[in-house]
């Protein structure tokens, strides 16, 4: 087979190393490879949309090797709850899952998080395999040991760490994504370039400007770039609590906007990647306001957002006050001592160079400065030429 059909890379997370197999048109090879797990049951965690699109081809391949139990829910961030986690655990145990069983995450980032926490907590930890079907999962969330669900207060407050046995990707699965979901993962790729590998920005701009973002060649390049960027900061930081925190760029405001928008508009709200891109636009302006990024670097953020189709305006259903309520309980609290009027954020001093140190790329930012920028996002025209924090 050609390199376009089947490739292998190692993902190193501290002492954990797992293989990532990827190619185009390789779904049958993926299910054949999973026969090697000698399992008594595959527990497939997915969502109803993925199940309808790809379930028949994938599940029929798995069933040739072992019984399959399917745990599926309506798609959306609402899947990531303690209630649904408990339901999945009870159903898996009731259907005969054992310590020999393998949990298979078949879907996007939300599915992967719920499946990962299911695997991590079932019998205190059983095997996990990722088969991502979205760009956000393939290029970001599967490249992590973090398994998590949301609390009623904010995103990703409840979880643990659990390493997968492997990741398997057929990029042809990504070609069925709608434009919104396709670009969601590309926003995370843009984050990696801005925060970690600015030398890749010229190629990224060319790829984005060239269109046809769902072509296998473009997707495989983006995947390789994501693997390179993430491994450079997680190789010695399996839990992403030191150098890996740079991957949280754009997430403080982004997570808050995403959560509040989804509360109001459900699945019609911003995708995770779109919200993170919006969070990066805010972070760039906050940095400029404290003497960090210059106008050219801020414009680089704006240009990428434009190519990715992300509006710089806060969604109409979301208020600055609601965003700030979530920012105050951001899950990075505790890494850096801050006052009650500050938030610990990843901000760039210049592209590829965050404030703080490599081992703690965080800086304290006044909540007032954050709110000023978020408030500007309510009334910003397009394209955004706002002045940012002052």
Beta bridge partners of 350: 353
The structure tokens 């919104």 sit at: 180
- Assess whether 248 carries a catalytic annotation: yes
Q: How does DSSP assign 197-260, residue by residue?
A: -GGGHHHHHHHHHT--TTSHHHHHHHHHHHHHHHHHHHTT-TTSSSGGGGGGTTHHHHHHHHHH
The structure tokens 């304290």 sit at: 364
Q: Report the C-alpha gap between 135 and 282 in whole angstroms.
A: 23
The structure tokens 């699945």 sit at: 267
How many CA within 13 A on the CB side of residue 134? 32
Q: How does DSSP assign 122-163, residue by residue?
A: GGG--EEEEEE-SHHIIIIITSS-EEEE--SSSTT-EEEE--
Which among 110, 253, 247 is positioned nearest to 189, based on CA atoms? Answer: 247
The catalytic residue among 225, 248, 258, 274 is 248
63's tokens: 């069933």
The catalytic residue among 146, 191, 230, 332 is 146
The structure tokens 């979205």 sit at: 134
Provide the pairing of β-strand 102-107 with 7-13: unpaired
Handedness of CA 21, 25, 31, 32 (dihedral sign): negative
Catalytic residues: 146, 248
């Amino acid at each position: 087979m050609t390199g376009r059909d089947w490739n292998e890379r190692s993902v190193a997370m501290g002492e954990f190393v797992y293989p990532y197999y990827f190619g185009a048109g390789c779904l049958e090879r993926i299910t054949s490879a999973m026969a090697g797990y000698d399992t008594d049951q595959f527990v497939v965690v997915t969502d109803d949309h993925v199940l309808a699109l790809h379930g028949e081809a994938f599940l029929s391949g798995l069933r040739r090797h072992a019984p399959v139990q399917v745990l599926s829910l309506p798609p959306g961030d609402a899947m990531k709850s303690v209630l649904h986690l408990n339901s999945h655990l009870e159903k898996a145990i009731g259907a005969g899952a054992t310590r020999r069983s393998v949990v298979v995450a078949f879907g996007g980032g939300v599915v992967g998080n719920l499946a990962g926490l299911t695997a991590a907590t079932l019998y205190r930890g059983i095997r996990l395999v990722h088969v991502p079907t979205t760009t956000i999962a393939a290029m970001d969330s599967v490249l992590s040991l973090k398994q998590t669900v949301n609390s009623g207060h904010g995103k990703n407050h409840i979880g643990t760490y659990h390493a997968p046995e492997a990741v398997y990707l057929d990029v042809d699965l990504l070609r069925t994504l709608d434009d919104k979901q396709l670009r969601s993962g590309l926003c995370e790729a843009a984050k990696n370039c801005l925060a970690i590998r600015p030398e890749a920005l010229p190629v990224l701009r060319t790829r984005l400007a060239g269109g046809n973002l769902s072509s296998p060649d473009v997707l495989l390049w983006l995947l390789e770039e994501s693997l390179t960027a993430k491994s450079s900061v997680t190789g010695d930081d399996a839990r992403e609590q030191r150098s890996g925190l740079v991957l949280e760029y754009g997430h403080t405001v982004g997570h808050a906007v995403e959560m509040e928008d989804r509360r109001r508009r459900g699945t019609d709200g911003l995708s995770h990647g779109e919200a993170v891109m919006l969070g990066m636009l805010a972070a760039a302006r906050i940095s400029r306001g404290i003497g960090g990024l210059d106008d050219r670097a801020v414009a680089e953020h704006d240009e990428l957002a434009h190519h990715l189709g992300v509006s710089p305006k806060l969604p109409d259903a979301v208020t600055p006050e609601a965003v700030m309520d979530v920012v105050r309980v951001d899950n990075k609290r505790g890494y850096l001592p801050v006052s009650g009027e500050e938030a610990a954020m990843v901000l760039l001093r210049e592209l590829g160079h965050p404030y703080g140190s490599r081992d703690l790329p965080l800086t304290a930012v006044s909540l007032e400065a954050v709110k000023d920028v978020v408030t500007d996002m309510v009334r910003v025209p397009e394209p955004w030429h706002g002045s940012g924090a002052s």
